[in-house]
């Protein structure tokens, strides 16, 4: 478990172990890489234009490149010096790379990349998926954080109301988001995007569902690095123990499940890893089924059939949340039950529709929709 994987110094050399110390920012490695990026950009632009570059076309990109170069040479060292004397504990030794945030970034990038491949095979430009990613990511993070604040507000808002409450509400450096809240927030952004772009929601959902679960898988690895979403005690050989500085240790001490003088937590189920595997398996199943779907929405239905069941079972092994509504069921289990029941109705609805895959985009009314044939082919009227 490592909440901070590495810290990148801004105002002093980087210690690369056996390779020794090398200058990072300033006149160092970062500037060298940035020069290579600039040279590569010019080379590609030159090839594309037949080596007839126009100064007017390249002026703004050059200004942007130069601004970043100046920030690397002068801005970063100054910021590093300031943080060393005035920054919070996590930033005094440099810019921290949090394991949780890095996993979210990797999962998000890989998920979007895989979705663009499926989209292009369905005749949808890849830039539509990248646009959709923004519409999903921002509302998703907001929804996930709001869900967490509603459910665990007492952990975040301590002391009398102050500016610190606002800072605490938006601080995600150590986790503090709930998956179901992210899915609800993302759904709002998703349907808004489909409405404004003239896209059939069920058709697009089938394209992105496997990618959503890729993101969930990497996000759960981030949970493991952070120490949240921990499991119950177990004697299984693959049980894990979290150290004193982990979120797991602090949570168990707060719940009086662990003495504050302990060195580490007792052996626990690695439920974060179980959940990551679950996400990757569902991603693989839905990606495989995508090729055999008969109607728009069937891939989504498969995911909504499997995930509530696996999530309900996963909650039986977790110990980070108690029962709700005077029952032993957690909030996630109640949501899983509701989602499963709703999906049964959704599956029945799909079964009443013709076995036809409609095009992803909705043709303008003036051009006529045309005739639809099986296997997603579109024939003009």
- pLDDT confidence bin for 373, thresholds 50/70/90: very low
Kindly state whether residues 60 and 111 are assigned to the same domain: no
Instruction: Show Cβ contacts of residue 80 under 8 Å, excluding neighbours closer than 6 positions.
Output: 9, 10, 11, 12, 25, 94
Looking at residue 162, its pLDDT comes to 60
**Rounded mean pLDDT of 333-352?**
95
Task: Say if 240 falls within a structural domain.
Answer: no
Looking at residue 216, its pLDDT comes to 93
Task: Say if 301 falls within a structural domain.
Answer: yes
Kindly state whether residues 203 and 281 are assigned to the same domain: yes
Joined together, the tokens standing for residue 151 give: 């459910």
Answer whether 84's CB lies under 8 Å from 11's CB.
yes
Task: Say if 41 falls within a structural domain.
Answer: yes
3-state secondary structure 65-133: HHHHHHHHHHHHHHHHHHHHHHCCHHHCCCEEEEHHHHHHHHHHHHHHHHHHHHHHHCCCCHHHHHHHH
More confident residue, 68 or 377: 68
Looking at residue 289, its pLDDT comes to 96
Task: Say if 255 falls within a structural domain.
Answer: no
**Rounded mean pLDDT of 333-346?**
95
Q: How far apart are CA 193 and CA 196, in angstroms?
A: 5
**Rounded mean pLDDT of 167-188?**
70
Cα dihedral 78, 3, 223, 165 sign:
negative
Q: How many domains does the chain have?
A: 2
pLDDT, tens digit, 9 for 90 and up, residues 184-208: 888 888 999 999 889 999 999 999 9
Q: How far apart are CA 1 and CA 10, in angstroms?
A: 25
Kindly state whether residues 195 and 289 are assigned to the same domain: yes
Looking at residue 303, its pLDDT comes to 96
Kindly state whether residues 82 and 120 are assigned to the same domain: no
Q: How far apart are CA 261 and CA 250, in angstroms?
A: 11
- Buried b / exposed e over 190-215, threshold 16 CB at 10 Å, is beebbeeeebbbbbbbbbbbbbbbbb
More confident residue, 126 or 110: 110
Kindly state whether residues 320 and 176 are assigned to the same domain: yes
Answer whether 264's CB lies under 8 Å from 243's CB.
yes
Looking at residue 256, its pLDDT comes to 85
* Domain C-terminal end among 31, 61, 91: 91
Kindly state whether residues 81 and 107 are assigned to the same domain: no
Q: Kindly state the percentage of the chain with pLDDT values over 90.
A: 38
- Among the listed ranges 124-128, 177-181, 254-258, 293-297, which one has the minimum average pLDDT value? 177-181
Kindly state whether residues 221 and 74 are assigned to the same domain: no
* Alpha-carbon Rg for the chain in angstroms: 25
Q: How far apart are CA 112 and CA 63, in angstroms?
A: 30
Looking at residue 153, its pLDDT comes to 65
More confident residue, 249 or 151: 249
For residue 236, give the 3-state DSSP assignment. coil
Q: Is the pLDDT of residue 322 over 80?
A: no
Task: Say if 264 falls within a structural domain.
Answer: no
- pLDDT confidence bin for 155, thresholds 50/70/90: low
* Domain C-terminal end among 66, 91, 116: 91
Kindly state whether residues 77 and 107 are assigned to the same domain: no
Q: How far apart are CA 376 and CA 357, in angstroms?
A: 4
- pLDDT confidence bin for 175, thresholds 50/70/90: low
CA angle, 239 then 181 then 341, to 5°: 90
Looking at residue 126, its pLDDT comes to 86
**Rounded mean pLDDT of 5-20?**
83
pLDDT, tens digit, 9 for 90 and up, residues 207-219: 999 999 999 999 9
- Buried b / exposed e over 38-57, threshold 16 CB at 10 Å, is beeeeeeeeeeeeeeeeeee
More confident residue, 375 or 97: 97
Kindly state whether residues 133 and 168 are assigned to the same domain: yes
Q: What is the DSSP string of 20-40?
A: -EE--SSSSHHHHHHHHHHHH
* Domain C-terminal end among 91, 110, 133: 91
pLDDT, tens digit, 9 for 90 and up, residues 344-354: 999 999 999 98
Q: Is the pLDDT of residue 246 over 60?
A: yes
Domain containing residue 133: 98-232+269-379
Q: How many CA atoms lie within 13 A of 310 on its CB side?
A: 18
Q: Is the pLDDT of residue 381 over 50?
A: no
More confident residue, 54 or 42: 42
**Rounded mean pLDDT of 51-77?**
84
Instruction: Show Cβ contacts of residue 333 under 8 Å, excluding neighbours closer than 6 positions.
Output: 311, 312, 315
- pLDDT confidence bin for 10, thresholds 50/70/90: confident
State the chain's mean pLDDT as an integer: 84
Looking at residue 89, its pLDDT comes to 72
For residue 288, give the 3-state DSSP assignment. helix
Kindly state whether residues 131 and 21 are assigned to the same domain: no
For residue 243, give the 3-state DSSP assignment. strand
End-to-end CA distance of the chain: give it in Å, rounded.
Answer: 60
Q: How far apart are CA 366 and CA 301, in angstroms?
A: 32
Looking at residue 54, its pLDDT comes to 76
pLDDT, tens digit, 9 for 90 and up, residues 256-309: 888 888 999 999 999 999 999 999 999 999 999 999 999 999 999 999 999 999
More confident residue, 15 or 55: 15
Kindly state whether residues 173 and 279 are assigned to the same domain: yes
Kindly state whether residues 69 and 111 are assigned to the same domain: no
């Amino acid at each position: 478990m490592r909440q901070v994987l590495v810290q990148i110094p801004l105002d002093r050399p980087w210690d690369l172990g056996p390779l020794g110390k090398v200058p990072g920012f300033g006149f160092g490695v970062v500037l060298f890489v940035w020069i290579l990026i600039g040279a590569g950009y010019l080379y590609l632009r030159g090839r594309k234009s037949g080596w007839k570059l126009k100064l007017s076309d390249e002026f703004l990109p050059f200004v942007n490149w130069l601004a970043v170069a100046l920030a690397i040479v002068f801005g970063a060292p100054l910021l590093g010096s300031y943080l060393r004397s005035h920054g919070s504990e996590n930033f005094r030794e440099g810019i921290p790379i949090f394991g949780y945030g890095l996993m979210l970034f990797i999962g998000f990038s890989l998920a979007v990349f895989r979705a663009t491949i499926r989209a292009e095979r369905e005749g949808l430009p890849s830039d539509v998926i990248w646009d959709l990613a923004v519409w999903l990511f921002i509302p998703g993070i907001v929804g996930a954080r709001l869900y967490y604040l509603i459910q665990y507000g007492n952990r975040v808002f301590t002391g009398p109301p102050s500016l610190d409450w606002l800072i605490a509400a938006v601080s995600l450096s150590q986790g503090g988001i709930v998956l179901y809240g992210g899915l609800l927030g993302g759904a709002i952004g998703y349907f808004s995007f489909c409405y404004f772009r003239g896209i059939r929601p069920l058709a697009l959902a089938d394209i992105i569902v496997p990618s959503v679960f890729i993101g969930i898988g990497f996000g759960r690895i981030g949970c493991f690095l952070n120490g949240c979403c921990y499991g119950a005690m177990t004697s299984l050989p693959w049980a894990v123990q979290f150290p004193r500085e982990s979120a797991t240790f602090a949570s168990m001490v707060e719940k009086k499940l662990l003495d504050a003088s302990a060195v580490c937590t007792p052996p626990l189920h690695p439920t974060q890893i179980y959940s990551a595997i679950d996400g990757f398996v569902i991603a693989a199943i839905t990606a495989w089924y995508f090729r055999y779907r008969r109607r728009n929405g069937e891939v989504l239905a498969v995911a909504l059939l499997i995930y509530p069941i696996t999530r309900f079972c996963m909650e039986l092994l977790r110990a980070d949340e108690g029962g709700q509504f005077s029952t032993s069921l957690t909030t996630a289990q109640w949501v899983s039950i509701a989602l499963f029941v709703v999906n049964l109705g959704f599956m029945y609805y799909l079964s009443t529709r013709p076995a036809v895959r409609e095009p992803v985009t909705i043709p303008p009314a003036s051009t006529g929709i045309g005739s639809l044939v099986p296997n997603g082919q579109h024939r003009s009227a």
